[in-house]
Amino acid sequence: MRKYRLTDERKAVFLKTLAATGSPTAAAAEATPWSQHRHGGVATFRDEARRDPAFAASWERAMQAALATVEREIVRRAMEPPKRPIWENGAVKGWVEDRASSDKLLLRVAAKLDPAWRERTTVDANLAIQAEMLTVSPQDVLLLAYDEQQALLALVEKITVAREEKGIEGEVPRLPDASATP
């Protein structure tokens, strides 16, 4: 039972691997090699982060370190485009920069550094409340932060499942009158 305890050594392995990979699952698997769970026991570390604010802060710093590594590589690739060979008669004749991917990376880095480089999205007047119905266009969803987009999609999925369970097709159930008492 002793090896299953969450020791400082296991936490250190978890945080080191997390900083290197950005993957809580990979970090938990490295810190808990005996785990049979497909997520490597990551719940143990999530529970510890909920209980221990210092560990939660270390987790966040490790995630930021992983992100910084990725961002450095993005900038490197943007500034130093990969080269691909030019072949002629089965031999390399020369090299050419593959700028297609590096140009996209450069634009993404510029957009991160300066909002003026961000793509403009226009929202038409599709966002409206009509009676008890809300209409949202795909462009409206793009106005949300990524985590908010994911939360909205999760809610829409829940609604879809609930409608299927209740056998509702096409019709939109009416919202209860707020002034009505239950």
Give 10-residue mean pLDDT values along the chain (182 residues): 76 95 91 76 90 95 90 84 89 87 76 73 46 69 82 81 74 50 48
**Biggest alpha carbon–alpha carbon distance for the chain:** 83
123 falls within a domain: no
pLDDT at position 40 is 64
pLDDT at position 33 is 82
Please check whether residues 52 and 26 belong to one and the same domain: yes
pLDDT at position 17 is 95
174 falls within a domain: no
Domain with 98 in it: 81-117
57 falls within a domain: yes
Give dist(CA 33, CA 27) in Å, integer.
10
pLDDT at position 24 is 92
16 falls within a domain: yes
DSSP assignment string, 80-148: S--EEEEEETTEEEEEEE-HHHHHHHHHHHHHHH-GGGSPP----TT-EEETTEEE--HHHHHTS-HHH
What type of residue sits at position 83? K
Give dist(CA 182, CA 131) in Å, integer.
21
pLDDT at position 36 is 75
76 falls within a domain: no
Q: What is the CA radius of gyration of the chain?
A: 25
Please check whether residues 51 and 10 belong to one and the same domain: yes
Please check whether residues 63 and 16 belong to one and the same domain: yes
Give dist(CA 115, CA 95) in Å, integer.
35
pLDDT at position 129 is 44
pLDDT at position 10 is 92
